[in-house]
Amino acid sequence: MKKLDYVIVGNSTAAVGCIEGIRSVDKAGPVTVVSREPYPAYSRPLISYLLCGETTEEKMRMRPADFYEKNGVNALLGKRAVRVDPGRKAVLLDGGESIPFDRLLIATGSRPFVPPMSGLERVERKFSFLTLDDAKALGAALTPESRVLIVGAGLIGLKCAEGIRDRAGTITVVDLADRILPSILDPRGSAMVRRHIESRGIRFLLGDSVAEFEKDRAHLKSGKTVGFDVLVVAVGVRPNTDLAAGAGCAVGRGIAIDERSATSVPGIYAAGDCCECTDVSSGQRRILAILPNARLQGETAGVNMAGGEKSFANAVPMNAIGFFGLHVLTAGSYDGEAWVETAPGVYRKLVVRDNRLVGFILIGEIARAGIYTSLIRERTPLDSVDFELLKHKPQLMAFSAQRRAEKLGGAK
């Protein structure tokens, strides 16, 4: 049988997962990776840690230097895929060459969303915060005196703020929303995290937005004016779906994939931040732009592309994030009946719906959160466990002796 040609557009977590997925089944078929970035695969979530010196560019590499070679991968780095021709089964690059494929993975990730803001063009030192290059550029622009303005109090904006805290003078964060991290925290949780971040001298201007930029100052709708030397725009991201759409793949918020990471077009798969999939906690189709999902979707795609059988059916939104030593672990969705426990420095919220745990927020006290996450993922009926125990802390004691015996007696 003829060897299959694999092509992967994108070179981040999903791509790496895909390569390993393919090789777990097919040791021979040639794999070509096309990436706009010039770097071997690195871990994007680490860029903020790079800025604060927790890691190095070297350590950010997801795999050893010989990864591509060892896996028989032809990595075309710094090249851009402009179009996919489903008929001829080829990917066209900006250089004009065309790469044929039998199986294609689209792992194009996402791009920063920059809303129209008047006067933005006048700002010289403005940055996004998504890629290694973004981080390097931002790092280069910073001085100990820098006054930094970050637009956007989401995960990216705040990780950026943490990352540069000790390398800048002042940091101000502006967001239209009236609270930080609105996508993963409820008002109470976000207030708590906000207080903690503020205690490290970061200033928030919430429920406000930039009306007009000048070269080194921003006039806000509220009438306030914020001076700055460096601007970071971290309002949000948009999935890169054009390539898929052009190939005729069904696209909703993101590229629509099934449990096998297959798109609507045979032979074409997609994985990672550019996709939307089903969130088991809410049952809705969502973009779950988080590293573990990208990894698992990529690997799933790889196995299926190579003719194996793999399904990844229990994706949930989840985030492990910390700011200045305060850890925040969340998962699932928050629409349901809530159980809340608080203590100084601690916030615990469990959300229950239809006899299932559907979501949680843990701040400060996060030990063993994975037990909760697995309850969500496995959609464990709460009447089959001792939820009273679970409310206070995640513990295997809450499971039946028999379940425990399975879990601890014969682990898989």
Partner 1 sequence: MKRVYVNERWCLGCHLCEYNCAFANSGETDMVKALQGAEIHPRIQVEGDNKISFAVSCRHCDDPICVKSCIAGAISKRDGVVRIDRDRCVGCFTCILVCPYGAVLPSPDGHAVRKCELCTDNASGEPACVRGCPNGAIVFEER
Is 181 a binding residue for partner 1 by CB under 8 A? The answer is no
Site map for partner 1, 389-408, x if CB under 8 A? Answer: -----xxxx---x--xx-xx
Count CB neighbours of 113 within 10 A.
13
Per-residue b or e along 204-229, where b marks 16 or more CB atoms closer than 10 Å to that residue's CB: bbbebbbbebeebebbeeeeeebebb
Residue 327 sits in the site that holds partner 1 (CB under 8 A): yes
370 makes contact with partner 1 (CB under 8 A)? yes
Stretch that binds partner 1, among 169-177, 231-239, 247-255, 320-328 (CB under 8 A): 320-328
Residue from the set 329, 351, 363, 385 that interacts with partner 1 by CB under 8 A: 329
Letters for 9-28 (x = contact with partner 1 by CB under 8 A, - = none) are: --------x-----------
Neighbours of 98 (CB within 10 A): 12
Residue 175 found at the interface with partner 1 (CB under 8 A): no
81 binds partner 1 (CB under 8 A): no
Q: Which residues contact 377 (CB under 8 A, 6 or more apart)?
A: 280, 314, 316
Can you tell me the distance from the alpha carbon of 293 to that of 274, in angstroms, rounded to the nearest whole number? 11
Regarding 179 and contact with partner 1 (CB under 8 A), the answer is no
83 in contact with partner 1 (CB under 8 A): no
Interaxial angle between packed helices 187-198 and 155-164, expressed in degrees from 0 to 180 and rounded to the nearest 10: 20
Residue 6, SS3 per DSSP: strand
CB atoms within 10 A of CB 137: 14
Under rule CB under 8 A, residue 61 binds partner 1: yes
Neighbours of 369 (CB within 10 A): 20
Q: Is 45 helix (H, G, I), strand (E, B) or coil?
A: helix
Give the CA distances from residue 44 to residues 20, 40, 41, 82, 351, in Å, rounded to whole numbers and listed in that order. 19, 12, 9, 23, 30
CB of 351 to partner 1, least distance (A): 16
- Beta carbons within 8 Å of 328's beta carbon, 6+ residues apart: 181, 184, 185, 189, 193, 319, 320, 321, 322, 361, 362, 363, 366
Residue selected from 322, 340, 386, 387 as contacting partner 1 according to rule CB under 8 A: 322
155 near partner 1, rule: CB under 8 A? no
User: Please, are residues 107 and 274 in contact by the beta-carbon 8 Å criterion?
Assistant: yes
Is 130 a binding residue for partner 1 by CB under 8 A? The answer is: no
- Report in angstroms how near the CB of residue 394 gets to partner 1 at its nearest: 6
| Contact (Cβ atoms closer than 8 angstroms) between residue 42 and residue 61 | yes
Output the smallest distance, CB 368 to partner 1, in A: 3
Beta carbon of residue 235, minimum distance to partner 1 (angstroms, whole number): 22
Residues touching partner 1, count (CB under 8 A): 48
Provide the minimum distance between the beta carbon of 176 and partner 1 in the complex, in angstroms, as a whole number. Answer: 27
**The one among 185, 262, 321, 385 contacting partner 1 by CB under 8 A:** 321
Q: Which is nearer to partner 1, 30 or 64 (CB)?
A: 64
Does residue number 55 form part of the binding site for partner 1 (CB under 8 A)?
A: yes
d(CA 383, CA 275): 34
The residues of the shown chain that bind partner 1, judged by CB under 8 A, are 17, 43, 45-46, 49, 54-55, 59-63, 291-292, 295-296, 299, 318-322, 325, 327, 329, 331, 366-371, 373-374, 377, 394-397, 401, 404-405, 407-412
